[in-house]
Amino acid sequence: MVKNTETNLSAIARDLKKAPSDAVVIGVGQGTAGPFLLENPLTAKSVEALTDSLKVLGITGAPDQAVRLPGLPETGSGILVLAGIGKVDPGGRVSGEALRRAAGSAVRQLAGLSSVTLAFPTATVADVAAIAEGAALGAYSFTEFRSSKDGLKDPVADVAIFTDLAGDKDLQPALERARLLGKAVNATRSLVNQPPSHLYPESFADAAKELSKGLPVKVTVWDEKRLEKEGFGGIMGVGKGSARQPRLVKVEYSPAKATRKIALVGKGITFDTGGISIKPALGMGDMKSDMAGAAVVLNTVLAIAGLGLPVKATAWLCIAENMPSGAASRPADVLTMFGGKTVEVLNTDAEGRLVMADGIVAASQEYPDAIIDVATLTGAQLIALGNRTAGIMGADSVTGPLKAAADRAGELVWPMPLPEELRPSLDSQVADIANIGERHGGMMTAAVFLREFVGKDKGGQTIPWAHIDIAGPSFNNGAPYGYTPKQGTGCTVRTLVAYVEDLLA
């Protein structure tokens, strides 16, 4: 069902003419004295001529600028591309994220070409890995619902990275990691981009099985009958208003030599009308992306399995379609969640926290070392942090390492507090807790609600937990930038994989 896009990644350290491609890309930095060429494999004569022409050609070195010129005989390619890196001190080191974005931007803008060589400066294997990752993320397209491919360009199929480190023993594992991360992020994007006519609870569960094929993972699916029988009142309460009944999907990777155990819980609302508390029509089409959290945790576990990391990782996909009907939950209904806690539903558009609560309780019962939930949970996240920065909340022992992992991965997250004064606003007159509370700081109030469902470990202590709200950064309504396309972005997969790697390190 999900048609993924992948690019072949390789490294070369020889005469460019002996490994020809359709285009060679070199970097241009923005210095205090103007644009300048970064380290590259061109001859001194070519570098001098290009340098003298930068301003005449309107080349500034700004991020996302990619100017095509006729190729040079020494490159063996028909096209030379000058790609902006952004602000760099001449002779200074280019950050991994600047390389990642420049590579992704160039590969994205060179769609339609078959092969590209990226010749950016690479002082370390980490630099090569960042370039490869950017390229894998930039080589993405979503065209499966087009009746004709007229005017559409296929993503670049082959990317070679020019580097003196091509023979380093650590390089191939780094390229393989970049390939697997690109595959996982692009699969997440494609799931988010699916129309709700095609992605609904049952088909999402089928897609999880399909994407898991060939990997050492076990997939278990709860249908509506089993959910009802076992008391998953949050998932059933949200999903019962739809003709397409809800699902819970558990994806387990359990290597024999696992040294750690983590649980990832994802919000999978395949379409969110708001239910009886119906949303305004304007922008409702974007609500096909309300399952991004579930897509993230699914593909994170699949990436961990592909990398063979020695950690037991379990993804819980809490999937429902939130529709208004005669069977839908009403404001003032009381739901009994998995585990027995009761919730008064004051707003049926605060549905994500209801399905997530069931998933968090289920995850807690397996006593993981940490629980991380990922959800497009609140509009308040966009108000607080904008379109590109996710909010992370929870135990310091999890949020601190998550922030460090996000910084390493090049993703934007920001830690937010969980003020204790928010909890009383969730008090209910008729149930254990209400599903909405204080309006101001709504992102944090939603997290306070979720915290109520985090279980205890075998020693009686609360399991370390963090919540990541990706309402803004999971879906890009603006122009593409860097390695990020329009619509589904696949954000947070790379952060979670880096978090697991850091745990093991």
- For residue range 433-468, list pLDDT tens digits in order: 999 999 999 999 999 999 999 999 999 999 999 999
CA–CA distance, 187 with 206 (Å, rounded to integer): 14
**CA distance linking residue 120 with residue 123, whole number of Å:** 10
Identity of the amino acid at 363: A
The dihedral over CA atoms of 430, 433, 439, 442, expressed in degrees to the nearest 10, equals -160
pLDDT in tens, 108-130: 999 999 999 999 999 999 999 99
User: Shortest CA distance to 188 belongs to which of 406, 459, 474?
Assistant: 474
What is the C-alpha end-to-end distance of the chain, expressed in Å? 36
Query: 68: Cβ–Cβ under 8 A, 6 or more apart, which residues?
Result: 23, 79, 80, 81
Clarify whether residues 219 and 146 are in a common domain.
no
Q: Are residues 209 and 307 in the same domain?
A: yes
Where b means 16+ CB within 10 Å and e means fewer, 338-348 reads: bbebebbbbeb
Confidence at residue 5, expressed as pLDDT on a 0 to 100 scale: 76
pLDDT at 504 over 80: yes
Is residue 169 a known part of a binding site? Answer: no
From 134, 151, 179, the end of a domain falls on 179
> Which residue, among 328, 267, 266, 333, has the nearest Cα to 302 in the 3D structure?
266
53 and 134 inside one domain: yes
List strand residue ranges (DSSP E) for 376-454, in order: 390-394, 413-415, 433-434
Annotated binding residue at 373? no
Phi, psi of 229 (to 5 degrees): -65, -40
Active-site annotation, residues: 279, 353
Residues 246 and 154 both lie in one domain: no
φ/ψ (deg, to 5) at 403? -65, -45
Task: Identify whether residues 72 and 212 lie together within a single domain.
Answer: no
Scan for tokens 């994170």, then name that residue.
300
In a domain, 90, yes or no: yes
Please give the residue range of the domain that contains residue 405.
Answer: 199-326+349-418+442-475+485-504
| Cα(397)–Cα(272) distance, integer angstroms | 33
In a domain, 337, yes or no: no
Question: In terms of domains, do 107 and 232 share one?
Answer: no
The answer to the question of residue 194 being in a domain is no
- Residue 268 and residue 149 in one domain: no
Residues 37 and 158 in one domain: yes
Can you give the CATH number for the domain in which 108 is found?
3.40.220.10
CB distance 61 to 30 below 8 Å: yes
- The reply to whether 24 falls in a domain is yes
φ, ψ for residue 487 (rounded to 5)?
Answer: 65, -130
Per-residue pLDDT, 90: 76
Do 84 and 137 reside in the same domain of the chain?
Answer: yes
Specify whether 272 is located in the same domain as 362.
yes
Tell me whether residue 185 is in a domain.
no
Nearest to 85 by CA among 43, 38, 128: 38
pLDDT digits (tens, 9 = 90+) for 331-367: 999 999 999 999 999 999 999 999 999 999 999 999 9
Q: How many CB atoms lie within 10 A of CB 322?
A: 30
Last residue of a domain, one of 111, 145, 179: 179
Judge whether 170 is annotated as a binding position. Answer: no
Q: Is 366 annotated as a binding residue?
A: no
For residues 355 and 309, state if they share a domain. Answer: yes
Domain assignment present for residue 251? The answer is yes
Q: Binding site annotation covers 164? A: no
Look at residue 287 and give its three-state secondary structure. helix
Domain count for the chain, please give it.
Answer: 2
- Integer Cα distance of 399 and 411 in angstroms: 14
Distance (Å, rounded) from C-alpha 262 to C-alpha 185?
20
Whether the CB-CB separation of 363 and 263 falls below 8 Å is answered with yes
pLDDT at residue number 364 = 98
d(C-alpha 394, C-alpha 397), whole Å: 9
The predicted model gives 318-322 an average pLDDT of: 98
CATH number of the domain where residue 391 is located: 3.40.630.10
Residue 206 shares a structural domain with residue 151? no
Quick check: is 172 in a domain?
yes
Q: List, for residues 264-313, the tens digit of each pLDDT value.
A: 999 999 999 999 999 999 999 999 999 999 999 999 999 999 999 999 99
